[in-house]
């Protein structure tokens, strides 16, 4: 890559639909190079996206984000093919319709929305250091303001399930808590800026996908929630608006909001870092010629 007049590069997870797809489209229009780290393919019927794939401005790296072997192969590929990353958008997620568990045995919301963003952040830290903007935006939610209590056991091992306001909200709170906890050191030491951003309510309903939303929210979403480009704009503005928010800030409508349960931030950060070091780093991709560590 020619390092003179180098274009900005963003990596976006969950970029093949909804808010992530609209954020991808927004950055492509602005001339960014975009890497989509996703489980699924980009939609074949969207000509602008397919043109960007053909031109190389948009790259797809496929992985099952909640399977550490698959994720590690994808991240190794990104690190081998990419000189630097200016912005990381940890956007993949969603509210499931029931309790499920990942290949590692973690509750799926916790895995995908709390742990995996940390793994991706840590693995791509070196590329962020080489970028110009050094910005990480983690997609969160204000739904966790409905939570009456929070601790590490509820986050990691939920004993009950509620759509949207149960493990989904708890895992997003966990994401915002470790973001807040890790931000000061990353900013002071390396100039990397971490933020968590609520993209607000958006009409992301898809007819072919089982929804984890409460039944009463679906018609409201369909009739009154804005297009996902609204949420994409909030994520983009959160990272790059002229308002310079403090590292670790949680944003709603591009305004800083106080996080509840901040006293649990250190415990959440310690736990996701423990999983990263003891589980992810001990996962050797299939075909590497080595056995998986115990």
Long-range contact pairs involving 42-48 (C-beta distance under 8 Å, separation at least 24): 42/15, 42/16, 43/16, 43/17, 46/21
For residue 9, what are the β-bridge partners?
A: 33
Q: Which two tokens stand for residue 155?
A: 């986050």
The domain spans of the chain are 9-280
pLDDT score of 205 more than 90: no
The DSSP code sequence of 131-159 is: SSS-EEEEE--GGGGG-S---HHHHHS-S
Spatial contact of 12 and 61, defined as CB atoms under 8 Å apart:
no
**53 vs 82, 93, 156, CA distance in Å?**
16, 23, 37
pLDDT score of 193 more than 60: yes
Q: Specify the pLDDT at position 95.
A: 85
Spatial contact of 195 and 90, defined as CB atoms under 8 Å apart:
no
Confidence bin at 89 (pLDDT 50/70/90)? very high
Q: What is the mean pLDDT of residues 63-78?
A: 98
Confidence bin at 214 (pLDDT 50/70/90)? low
User: From CA 7, how far away is CA 36, in angstroms rounded?
Assistant: 16
Q: Specify the pLDDT at position 290.
A: 42
Fold (CATH) for 9-280: Rossmann fold (3.40.50)
Of 129-138, 173-182, 284-293, the least confident: 284-293
HEC letters along 43-88: CCCCHHHHHHHHHCCEEEEECCCCCHHHHHHHHHHHHHHCCCCCEE
Q: Which two tokens stand for residue 280?
A: 């992810």
Confidence bin at 289 (pLDDT 50/70/90)? very low
pLDDT score of 266 more than 90: yes
Per-residue pLDDT tens digits for 230-245:
899 999 999 998 788 9
Q: Which two tokens stand for residue 130?
A: 């080489």
């Amino acid at each position: 890559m020619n390092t003179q007049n180098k274009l900005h590069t963003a990596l976006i997870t969950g970029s093949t639909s909804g808010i992530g797809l609209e954020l991808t489209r927004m950055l492509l229009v602005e001339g960014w190079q975009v890497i989509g780290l996703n489980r699924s393919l980009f939609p074949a019927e969207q000509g602008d996206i397919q043109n960007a794939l053909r031109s190389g401005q948009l790259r797809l790296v496929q992985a099952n984000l909640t399977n550490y072997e698959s994720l590690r192969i994808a991240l190794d590929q990104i690190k081998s093919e990419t000189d630097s990353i200016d912005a990381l958008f940890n956007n993949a997620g969603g509210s499931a319709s029931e309790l499920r568990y990942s290949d590692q045995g973690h509750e799926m919301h916790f895995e995908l929305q709390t742990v995996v963003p940390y793994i991706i952040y840590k693995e791509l830290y070196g590329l962020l250091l080489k970028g110009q903007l050094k910005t990480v935006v983690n997609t969160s939610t204000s739904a966790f303001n409905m939570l009456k209590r929070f601790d590490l056991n509820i986050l990691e091992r939920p004993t009950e399930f509620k759509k949207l306001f149960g493990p989904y909200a708890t895992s997003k709170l966990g994401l915002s808590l470790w973001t807040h906890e890790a931000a000061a050191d990353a900013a002071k030491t390396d100039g990397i800026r971490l933020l968590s951003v609520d993209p607000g309510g958006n009409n992301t309903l898809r007819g072919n996908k089982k929804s984890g939303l409460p039944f009463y929210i679906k018609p409201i979403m369909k009739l009154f929630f804005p297009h996902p480009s609204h949420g994409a704009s909030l994520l983009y503005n959160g990272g790059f608006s002229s308002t310079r928010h403090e590292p670790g800030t949680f944003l709603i409508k591009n305004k800083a909001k106080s996080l509840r349960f901040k006293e649990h931030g250190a415990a959440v950060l310690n736990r996701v870092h423990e999983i990263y070091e003891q589980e992810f780093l001990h996962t050797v991709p299939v075909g590497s010629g080595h056995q998986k560590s115990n």
